Structure 1
Amino acid sequence: MDKSQQENAAEAALPLSDAVQHALAVTKRGVDELLIEQEFAQKLARSEKTGKPLRIKLGLDPTAPDLHLGHTVVLNKMRQLQDLGHTVIFLIGDFTSMIGDPSGRNATRPQLTREQIEENAKTYFSQASLVLDASKTEIRYNSEWSDALGVRGMIKLASRYTVARMMERDDFTKRFKAGTPISVHEFLYPLMQGYDSVALESDLELGGTDQKFNLLVGRELQKDWGQEPQCILTMPLLEGLDGVEKMSKSKNNYIGITEPGNTMFAKVMSISDEMMWRYYDLLSFTSIEHIAAEKQAVAQGKNPRNVKVALAQEIVTRFHSAQAAQDALADFENRSKGGIPDDIPEVSLNGAPLAIGNLLKSAGLCASTSEALRMVEQGGVKIDGATVSDKALKVEAGSFVLQVGKRKFARVHLSA
């Protein structure tokens, strides 16, 4: 046993202080997996002893311009670790975005241009700062060290991992067996993400459960570079409003963290009563004991709607304000009674008489005339509170409130 191993064994044998046990409990709340827990406990104990904070890394590729509540599951954990006094590193993957993360993909991800990546990256940190303490967050871009690698460095990095080990990755294996193409550049993604951990000398890296393979690559590369390997912490993936698919803008089942308070509130209220508990576990800052008490109260007859209202208000308050949450509740109750919200957009159009399908599309309430006519057929379209049932309706000039579904409204001024 060498000296470092002896020191690690000695550290592992020491009892954990109350502060370290508390930090460990905070870290583990709501997580899917913490690898390796004993190693992380030792890191926490060493940090307490030396006064040196741990370096905790989260990387996000700016593949879309906005963040949603699914992203905040891991951001919330970062904030908790930040509040414990550790250094959190918000890493924007401007280099890795050009490769495209193959995690969970059954086909090669389309590559983004540098211009698209830069545009998306502009909003990422400002939005993440709605969760993180921006003044205590280290923001980095992985192009800092990835661009400097060059071809020679990339070849040297690629030599450290075998194709066989890459094929241990579940999504690669499935695609290979199905005869679905795997581009060589996709093998570079986990290597580059792992190299980020080397460059930042991270002690802990966070990610969703779909990132486990990439995070483990980081551990292995750090060993190759003579660094103490990072621990990894995976967070569950939050289902979207449909309760089935992972929350995603591309699936239109998301709650954006910069959406208006009324919209956020109504979307939270639209999730099922069963899914509500999942959202509480992954998004709420209320105590585990409080959530358990609410579950018991619902089982004994409490209306789950009231519990869901509390969750919706907590989320709106976090990203807007307490007043916005109160206003959102009032607006939601007004809509539930068939009322019209106060803050609906005003749209001026011409061309009356205008076919109902074209009107709904032009007002921005439906993406296409076919969708509009489908909504009419389903009874989901109202003009001044009256349901429209005629798909051939031509709307005459005038001013009126147009409604599609429960949440889409527009005050339309239609002229000839």
Structure 2
Amino acid sequence: MLKDVDEQLEIVLRGTVDVVTKEELIKKFKKSQEENRPLRVKLGLDPTAPDIHIGNAVPIHKLRAFQSLGHTAVLIIGDYTATVGDPSGVNKTRPIITYEKVLENAKTYLSQAGKILDLKKTEVLYNSEWFKKMTFHDVIQLASKMTVARMMERDDFTKRYNAGIPISVHEFIYPLMQGYDSLMVRSDVELGGTDQLFSLLVGRDLQRDAGAEPQVALTTMLLEGIDGNKKMSKSLGNYIGITESPGEMFGKAMSIPDNLMRKYFELATDLNSDEINKLLNAGIHPRTAKVAMAKAIVRRYHNAKDAESAAAEFDRIFKEHALPDKIPDIEILSTELVNGRIWVARLIVLCSFATTNSEARRLVQQGGVSINNDPIQDPTLNIEVKPGMVLKVGKRRFARIVLKESF
């Protein structure tokens, strides 16, 4: 039995920005109750990268909220749209990735989404199911549904055009493809970030043109990264991955600026409004509130015990300057050494804390590298390698060095 309409509204509208339209959503909820028919709520995910971070997860949690209310979660894996590249919120054409890479990423996306959704009750579809069958004539017919003037209403396209930044024709196709997905799955509601609103509205237009009842477009806030500047992104390194260890999650959460705490509380935790308001009360020290927030983020993807352990380890490392309980062993071949020594930049790369020697040198110059808690400040230094010594890079990355003989 579906919940009362007002109760459903309160749950699904938390953390939302745009609802087009609220009146239509109320009508859909009422009709759903009268007919005892769950709404079909759609979310599309383009697997352009192998990992989901807590920013990506915001609309997935919203889909879970609808699912928990008894509605049908429709998750579209955009294996075809991903090869086009979503132009939303970017200031240049996205590089096109191969279909093989998209499918590889899709495998991890689905398993990670399963940390949030009940996949047994989720309708999972790949949009290649209908786009593969389209002829070029079908593509032209779809393209005829949109004018260039309407497409240029998009703020990101307008800014690029005015700045003289090229816009490729295939980027115009993307919102039409996303809108066509809505037509194919008969969605009643579509979810997305605020940067997706244009594409969600295209879905409404295409449904209306086809004589179907248009979907409600519901957008969620975008989450800034832990640097507090730009939208959370794996490519910018300012993200918290939903499969990261509790310690890594907790440490990253503790680094966010204080002015973003309320947004993280609302979008990245399961705490209710009363709990959040109490923690952000003027009488509560910001660090106390931030610890509670970091614990809540860890609990969401792990459990309460892991959250408490991560908090205790954070205190040991940053307040008591102790080492973590668990430090990964990294084997270094003896052939890498010359007279028992190795270039510090090379060691950092071998421990996968940097991808290039240049990046490793910068880490040393920035003062973020130490051996057994002794700071390393010279990027040209050749250090003596002793079994069991601990390399620390940044605030949260550790490696215990294990020498391995090569034969």
TM-score normalized with structure 1 length:
0.92
2:302 is aligned with 1:338? no
The aligned amino acid for 2:205 is E
**1:400-411 mapped onto 2 (5 Å cutoff):** 400-411=389-400
**1:257-406 mapped onto 2 (5 Å cutoff):** 257-296=242-281, 299-300=282-283, 302-336=284-318, 337-349=320-332, 350=334, 351=337, 352-399=340-387, 400-406=389-395
Using the TM superposition, give the Cα deviation of residue 415 of structure 1 relative to its aligned residue in structure 2, in angstroms: 7.0
The aligned amino acid for 2:328 is P
- Go from structure 1 to structure 2 and tell me whether the alpha carbon gap of 1:179 and 1:274 turns closer, same or farther (over 3 Å shift): closer
The aligned amino acid for 2:400 is R
Task: For 2:161 and 2:357, locate their aligned partners in 1 and report how far apart those are by CA, in whole Å.
Answer: 41
Using the TM superposition, give the Cα deviation of residue 371 of structure 1 relative to its aligned residue in structure 2, in angstroms: 3.1
Using the TM superposition, give the Cα deviation of residue 411 of structure 1 relative to its aligned residue in structure 2, in angstroms: 0.5
2:402 maps to: 413
Q: Which runs of 5+ in 2 are unaligned?
A: none
2:129 is aligned with 1:147? no
Task: For 1:404 and 1:92, locate their aligned partners in 2 and report how far apart those are by CA, in whole Å.
Answer: 36
Task: For 1:121 and 1:199, locate their aligned partners in 2 and report how far apart those are by CA, in whole Å.
Answer: 20
Q: Deviations over 1:123-175 (max 9, x none)?
A: 11110111111121110111111111221211111112112111111222222
- Go from structure 1 to structure 2 and tell me whether the alpha carbon gap of 1:391 and 1:179 turns closer, same or farther (over 3 Å shift): closer
Q: Deviations over 1:22-70 (max 9, x none)?
A: 1111121110111100011000000011100000000011100110000
Q: Which runs of 5+ in 1 are unaligned?
A: 1-16
- Go from structure 1 to structure 2 and tell me whether the alpha carbon gap of 1:395 and 1:415 turns closer, same or farther (over 3 Å shift): farther
Does the 8 Å contact 1:396/1:414 carry over to 2?
no
Count of residues in Structure 1 that have an aligned counterpart in Structure 2 = 397
Does the 8 Å contact 1:397/1:415 carry over to 2?
no
2:18 is aligned with 1:38? no
2:94 maps to: 109
TM-score normalized with structure 2 length:
0.94
Using the TM superposition, give the Cα deviation of residue 120 of structure 1 relative to its aligned residue in structure 2, in angstroms: 0.6
- Go from structure 1 to structure 2 and tell me whether the alpha carbon gap of 1:74 and 1:359 turns closer, same or farther (over 3 Å shift): same
Using the TM superposition, give the Cα deviation of residue 376 of structure 1 relative to its aligned residue in structure 2, in angstroms: 2.9
Using the TM superposition, give the Cα deviation of residue 18 of structure 1 relative to its aligned residue in structure 2, in angstroms: 8.0
Q: Deviations over 1:149-207 (max 9, x none)?
A: 22121111111211211111122222222222222111111111111111111010000
The root-mean-square deviation of aligned C-alpha atoms, in Å, is 1.6
Task: For 1:78 and 1:57, locate their aligned partners in 2 and report how far apart those are by CA, in whole Å.
Answer: 8
Task: For 1:51 and 1:327, locate their aligned partners in 2 and report how far apart those are by CA, in whole Å.
Answer: 45
Does the 8 Å contact 2:44/2:76 carry over to 1?
yes
Q: Pick one of 159, 172, 177 that aligns with 2:144.
A: 159
Does the 8 Å contact 2:271/2:296 carry over to 1?
no
1:6 maps to: none
The aligned amino acid for 2:68 is D
Task: For 1:18 and 1:410, locate their aligned partners in 2 and report how far apart those are by CA, in whole Å.
Answer: 51
2:9 is aligned with 1:24? yes
Does the 8 Å contact 2:269/2:300 carry over to 1?
no
Does the 8 Å contact 2:270/2:300 carry over to 1?
no
Does the 8 Å contact 1:73/1:282 carry over to 2?
yes
1:175 maps to: 160
Task: For 2:270 and 2:250, locate their aligned partners in 1 and report how far apart those are by CA, in whole Å.
Answer: 17
Task: For 2:188 and 2:136, locate their aligned partners in 1 and report how far apart those are by CA, in whole Å.
Answer: 28
The aligned amino acid for 2:127 is N
User: Identity rate of aligned residues, in percent?
Assistant: 50
